[in-house]
């Protein structure tokens, strides 16, 4: 949500006046960001020249500076019809110092490392690779940008709203006189996603124009802001419990927490909330909570829909690896489609930073003796295997400290397999698991806790793991194993189409690295039960896995108690689309691999499934999916510990500051509706939606109630979807949020909203009331 205006040409005197006004605006925005007078902020506001790098031949000097809204970076552009470009600070994922991207590593020399830095954006936007004039300058740019990004992310919802509205008001003030006439007020309402008729705009204006001057200024604009941000639904809730001189005492707040939020907490907990979130020091001293403090609490972790206890690692992490769902990526190297899209180490970084714990490396012989990664038999670009391993080593454990599985699709010659093994062992070092834990042959998997900070290789192995403990088990390196070629399913280039039956020569050094994840062909559940070792795992194409999950669900569940199963999308998904992962989770499949590069509903579900437990990438399976004698069948439910009928009551009350869908068209106002979806076992799948609200994305109110019966809550997800209604075509997504049913908090809760790429939308929330009760 940013409000920008094109700058008209100005006379010299007007330019001086504008600059003074700009400094004043920047100062106020710095204050709102908590960076008033900060030298790092001043450095960005002053700006400077940087060398922008796109290729070996495209390296050009460009001026970069932060605009006076303290939220928008401006840089000059020499493109025709465009003299400048901008991006929002909120669009920045991270800032990296040094040659930390593919572009800088490819197009710059090593001796420039200290002067290089990159701005990494959310979503699919390309990185911005830059070179400063000196090491000191580069460090200053990185430090300053990181500070502003961090401060922006750490603002409270109230502070974000103040900052945003202040800048929208500035933008609406077309003539820059610090006053607002009726026409400017209408323009402002359009900017913040509200369409009102002339009569209502006139009424708002006259209500605030105390001076009857025909313009709002100073305290009148403040009154207008207060009127605009008034939350009637909060007033009603607060008024019911504020029984102490018009405010909430600690006892009043405690009553609210017990009665409405269904939290079994003490009076001391209520006092701590007042101390933590009350904004009025006088009220705080009296141990009371004002309406502003109450709203602040409702927007913080304790007032959000996800149970705060689930934000950290709260599950038992000491059980065997097969007892966990593991966040997994397919074709991790791809940034886009599977036919001609680019391959990039950046794709691995993005997946790992989203706590993905199993990544795929599709390995082929490359030139100059170096193995490469790309989607075989297609026109996707290639990246070096060694560069990929370096990137994985650097970013594997930044989000989660739990183990990462490297799933090797090996199509290399013996010579390049040997190089692969060498790169794995030298780059990953002690972090690479090269032998089983302990001194004896294991009979089950180690736990995620035991494997913290370690890399596991999934791939073909020449012999049984047991033979690794026998000194007579040495191999000569020329044995073959059958090859299951996922890439061959594409069959894009007939001349390169592989033979139907193919044997892969396997190099011993690479073979020996597959310890707990030896790839084997699936020959049926009976064969697996009788002949397959715990560390031997099979990969299933989605169609085969879905058929097994539907026709042999209970057998699949028992198989997955002590063996790992990996599911991957069909090769025919040339656009890198995804299958629905939920049915595979309900039968205990651990490694349900999706195309992380594709924003879609299926990835929303995946992100929601792995949202709790500290975003560790590991979720402990329910007890009935870890029991070898389990009778659970998600397709035909029978009585058992899994059957815990719950009734979910959801009241969709309101939404706040929804973004425009069409940001380029200023007159575009959304008509939002909310859909609540339940995903889980087939009997639990359901969906209900509100009516749409015309022309109001700023503060729409629905007050609509829904009820759902959930039979297996341990395997259920709840998804909130906000869409812009369109009777002519498909609704556009405004935002969504998905979380496990078990993570719901009862009571009045705010629901954060995420973009289609899974990034938080600043300030935008849903306000709901949740009540989970035992079904009758």
Each domain of the chain, given as residue ranges in start order, spans 12-156, 173-228, 232-303, 321-625, 646-774
Q: How confident is the model at residue 501 (pLDDT cuts 50, 70, 90)?
A: low
The CA-based dihedral angle spanning residues 325, 330, 335, 337, taken in that order and rounded to the nearest 10 degrees: -130
Beta-carbon count within 10 A of 499 CB: 8
Q: What is the CATH number of domain 232-303?
A: 1.10.238.10
Q: What is the mean pLDDT of the chain?
A: 90
Cα Rg of the chain (Å, integer): 29
Cα separation of 102 and 108, whole Å?
10
* Percent of the chain's residues with pLDDT above 70: 91
The pLDDT tens digits for 222-255 are 787 777 778 999 999 999 999 999 999 999 999 9
Q: What is the CATH number of domain 646-774?
A: 2.60.40.150
CATH topology of domain 321-625: TIM Barrel (3.20.20)
- pLDDT greater at residue 275 or residue 572: 275
Query: What pLDDT is attached to residue 714?
Result: 98
The CA-based dihedral angle spanning residues 295, 297, 302, 305, taken in that order and rounded to the nearest 10 degrees: 10
CA angle 471, 474, 479 (to 5 degrees): 155
163, 375, 423, 679: the active-site residue: 375
Taking residues 138-145, report their average pLDDT.
97
Query: What pLDDT is attached to residue 665?
Result: 61
Read off the pTM. 0.89
649 among known catalytic residues: no
Handedness of CA 158, 163, 166, 171 (dihedral sign): negative
Query: What pLDDT is attached to residue 240?
Result: 96
Q: Please report how many Cα atoms fall inside a 13 Å half-sphere around the Cα of residue 253, on the Cβ side.
A: 29
Taking residues 165-169, report their average pLDDT.
73
Query: What pLDDT is attached to residue 471?
Result: 62
163, 330, 423, 679: the active-site residue: 330
Distances (CA, A) of 567 to 387, 522, 527, 541, 585: 26, 12, 19, 6, 10
The pLDDT tens digits for 438-483 are 988 999 999 999 999 999 999 999 999 988 777 665 444 446 666 5
Q: Which of 78-92, 284-298, 589-603 has the lowest mean pLDDT?
A: 78-92
Taking residues 519-523, report their average pLDDT.
96
Cα separation of 455 and 396, whole Å?
9
Domains 173-228 and 232-303 share a fold: yes
- 366-369 contact pairs (CB < 8 A, 24+): 366/416, 369/415, 369/416, 369/419
Instruction: Return the SS3 of 133.
Output: coil
Position 80 pLDDT exceeds 60: no
Cα separation of 386 and 626, whole Å?
37
Closest CA to 455 of 436, 431, 429: 431
From the options 1.10.1330.10, 3.20.20.10, 1.10.238.10, 1.10.10.10, give the CATH code of 173-228.
1.10.238.10
Position 557 pLDDT exceeds 80: yes
375 among known catalytic residues: yes
| Contact present, 138 and 115 (Cβ < 8 Å) | yes
Q: What is the CATH number of domain 12-156?
A: 2.30.29.30
Query: What pLDDT is attached to residue 488?
Result: 45
């Amino acid at each position: 949500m940013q409000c920008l205006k094109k700058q008209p040409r100005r006379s010299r005197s007007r330019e001086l006046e504008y600059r003074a006004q700009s400094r004043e605006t920047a100062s106020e925005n710095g204050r709102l960001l908590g960076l008033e007078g900060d030298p790092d902020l001043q450095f960005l506001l002053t700006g400077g020249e940087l060398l922008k790098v796109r290729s070996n031949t495209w390296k050009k000097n460009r001026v970069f500076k932060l605009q006076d809204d303290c939220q928008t970076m401006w840089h000059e552009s020499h493109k025709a019809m465009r003299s400048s470009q901008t991006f929002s600070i909120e669009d920045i994922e991270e800032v990296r110092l040094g040659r930390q991207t593919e572009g800088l590593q490819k197009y710059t020399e090593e001796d420039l490392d200290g002067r290089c830095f990159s701005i990494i954006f959310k979503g699919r936007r390309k990185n911005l690779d830059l070179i400063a004039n000196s090491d000191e300058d580069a460090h200053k740019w990185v430090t300053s940008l990181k500070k502003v990004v961090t401060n922006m992310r750490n603002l409270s919802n109230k502070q974000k709203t103040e900052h945003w509205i202040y800048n929208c008001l500035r933008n609406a003030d077309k003539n820059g006189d610090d006053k607002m006439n009726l026409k400017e007020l209408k323009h402002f309402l359009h900017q913040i996603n509200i369409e009102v008729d002339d009569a209502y705009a006139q009424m708002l204006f006259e209500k605030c124009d105390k001076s009857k001057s025909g313009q709002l200024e100073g305290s009148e604009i403040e009154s207008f802001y207060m009127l605009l941000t008034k939350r009637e639904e909060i007033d009603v809730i607060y008024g019911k419990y504020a029984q102490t001189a018009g405010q909430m005492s600690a006892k009043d707040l405690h009553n609210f927490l017990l009665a409405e939020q269904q939290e079994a907490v003490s009076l001391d907990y209520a006092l701590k909330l007042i101390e933590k979130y009350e904004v009025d020091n006088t009220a705080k001293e009296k141990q009371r909570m004002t309406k502003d403090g109450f709203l602040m609490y409702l927007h913080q972790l304790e007032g959000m829909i996800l149970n705060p206890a689930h934000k950290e690692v709260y599950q038992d992490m000491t059980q065997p690896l097969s007892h966990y769902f593991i966040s997994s990526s397919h074709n991790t190297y791809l940034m886009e489609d599977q036919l001609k899209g680019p391959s990039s180490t950046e794709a691995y970084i993005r997946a790992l930073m989203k706590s993905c714990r199993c990544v795929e490396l599709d390995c082929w012989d490359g030139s100059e003796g170096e193995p490469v990664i790309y989607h075989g038999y297609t026109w996707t670009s290639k990246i070096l295997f060694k560069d990929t391993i370096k990137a994985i080593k650097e970013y594997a454990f930044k989000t989660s400290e739990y183990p990462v599985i490297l799933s090797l699709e090996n199509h290399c010659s013996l010579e390049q397999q040997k190089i692969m093994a060498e790169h794995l062992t030298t780059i990953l070092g002690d972090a690479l698991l090269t032998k089983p834990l302990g001194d004896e042959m294991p009979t089950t998997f180690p736990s995620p806790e035991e494997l913290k900070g370690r890399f596991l290789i999934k791939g073909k192995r020449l012999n049984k793991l047991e033979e690794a403990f026998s000194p007579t088990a040495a191999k000569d390196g020329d044995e073959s194993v059958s090859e299951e070629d996922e890439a061959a399913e594409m069959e894009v280039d007939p001349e390169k189409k592989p033979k139907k039956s193919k044997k892969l020569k396997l190099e011993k050094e690479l073979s020996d690295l597959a310890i707990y994840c030896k790839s084997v062909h699936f020959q049926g559940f009976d064969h697996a039960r009788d002949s397959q070792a715990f560390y031997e795992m099979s990969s299933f194409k989605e169609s085969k896995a879905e058929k097994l999950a539907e026709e042999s669900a209970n057998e699949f569940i028992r198989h997955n108690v002590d063996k790992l199963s990996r599911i991957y999308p069909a090769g025919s998904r040339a656009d890198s689309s995804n299958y629905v992962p939920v049915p595979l989770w309900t039968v205990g499949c651990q490694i349900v691999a999706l195309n992380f590069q594709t924003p879609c509903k299926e990835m929303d579900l995946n992100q929601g499934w792995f949202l709790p437990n500290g975003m560790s990438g590991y979720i402990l399976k329910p007890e009935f999916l870890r029991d070898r004698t389990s009778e659970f069948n998600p397709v035909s439910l029978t009585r058992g510990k899994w059957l815990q009928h719950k009734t979910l009551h959801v009241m969709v009350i309101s939404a706040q500051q929804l973004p425009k869908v069409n940001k380029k068209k200023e007159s575009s106002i959304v008509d939002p509706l909310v859909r609540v979806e339940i995903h889980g076992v087939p009997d639990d799948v359901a969906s209900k939606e509100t009516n749409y609200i015309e022309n109001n994305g700023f503060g729409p109110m629905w007050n609509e109630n829904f009820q759902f019966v959930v039979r297996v809550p341990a395997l259920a997800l709840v998804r909130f979807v906000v869409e812009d209604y369109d009777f002519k075509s498909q609704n556009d997504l405004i935002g969504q949020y998905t979380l496990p049913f078990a993570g719901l908090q009862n009571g009045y809760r705010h629901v954060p909203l995420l973009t289609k790429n899974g990034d938080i939308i600043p300030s935008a929330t849903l306000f709901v009331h949740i009540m989970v009760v035992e079904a009758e």
